[in-house]
Amino acid sequence: DAGVIQSPRHEVTEMGQEVTLRCKPISGHNSLFWYRQTMMRGLELLIYFNNNVPIDDSGMPEDRFSAKMPNASFSTLKIQPSEPRDSAVYFCASSKPGQPYEQYFGPGTRLTVT
């Protein structure tokens, strides 16, 4: 099993640019979660999907953030326009049907906005 795959692993961009983070969940998993990790705020849930449908996006910081899951094997998190305070590590996680709390995390994308 390849595990959760995230790309890119590192992203450096300038303020105002659009950033797209990508995630491929583990095959057969039906829930997908996007988290953000910073030193100040720890690990925060941004949004999660169940069967490709967004269930809870209350953690999305503002309208600059959007997430999609067009099919069971792919999700994107987009930031437009990006700001320096968006610098963080963004994790994607997935879980099996019936076990949403045993989440399998990807390696993360380290985003730096200058």
Partner 1 sequence: AQSVAQPEDQVNVAEGNPLTVKCTYSVSGNPYLFWYVQYPNRGLQFLLKYITGDNLVKGSYGFEAEFNKSQTSFHLKKPSALVSDSALYFCAVRDKGGGADGLTFGKGTHLIIQP
Contacts to partner 1 by CB under 8 A = 4, 31, 33, 42-43, 45, 48, 50, 55-56, 59, 91, 93, 100-108
**Cβ at position 40, least distance to partner 1 in Å:** 10
* Nearest residue (CB) to partner 1, 79 versus 93: 93
* Nearest residue (CB) to partner 1, 31 versus 82: 31
**Cβ at position 29, least distance to partner 1 in Å:** 13
DSSP output for the chain: ----EEE-SEEEE-TT--EEEEEEPPTT--EEEEEEEETTTEEEEEEEEETTEEEE-TT--STTEEEEEEETTEEEEEESS--GGG-EEEEEEEEETTEEEEEEE---EEEEE-
**Cβ at position 81, least distance to partner 1 in Å:** 27
* Nearest residue (CB) to partner 1, 67 versus 108: 108
**Cβ at position 38, least distance to partner 1 in Å:** 10
Q: Which two tokens stand for residue 111?
A: 């985003």
